[in-house]
Amino acid sequence: MKKLFLLAIAVIGFSISSNAQDIKLGFKGGVNFATLNGDGYNGLDGRTGYHIGAVVQVGLTDMFAIQPELIYSAQGAKFKALGIDQDIDVDYLNLPVLVKFKFAKFFSAEAGPQFGFIVNDNFNGGTDPESFDLSAAVGAGVEFGSFFGQLRYNIGFTDIVDNVEAKNSVFQVSVGYYIF
């Protein structure tokens, strides 16, 4: 009986806290404009790729929310070596955890860390990229009902290859939809 009573209190407490928070689940996708920054990487062309994934927005107040995401992101760069076009393709499973500040009803600003894990790479010359990427994400967004759009810049803190100063730099344009 005591366990049943504690279970009932836990369920009621969870229900009350869930109602106090505005939780939204959605999906998003968009285009990446990616390149690498670092010493000796000034002549690189950007790689245009894509990203797709899931978004959870947990409202803390009317103006603040936490927004974790799970995003597949095609990143990298292009360059020309000995007259031949070369691609540096690195695809990540990114986990940004953003703090979102909402203002003017449908505008928002967001910032936070992003943790990236390589899921696919195309490196020439026998070089393997680092399996983890730490970056910062900063951006802005709009929401119209269940639809949303975002502009975001991700700047890498860690080198993508060991002993080579080359960090990710990605500008993203996204659209999405909250399913609830």
Phi, psi for residue 161 in degrees, rounded to 5: -130, 140
Its pTM stands at 0.83
Q: Is residue 173 part of a domain?
A: yes
The reply to whether 141 falls in a domain is yes
State the CATH number of the domain containing residue 103.
Answer: 2.40.160.20
Cα separation, 149 vs 66, in Å, equals 17
| Structural domain span for residue 58 | 22-178
Q: How far apart are CA 29 and CA 176, in angstroms?
A: 6
pLDDT one digit per residue (tens) for the chain, 180 residues = 455 444 545 554 454 455 446 999 999 999 999 998 877 566 678 889 999 999 999 999 999 999 999 999 999 888 766 777 777 889 999 999 999 999 988 999 999 999 999 999 887 656 778 899 999 999 999 999 999 999 999 999 999 887 778 899 999 999 999 999
How many domains does the structure of the chain reveal? 1
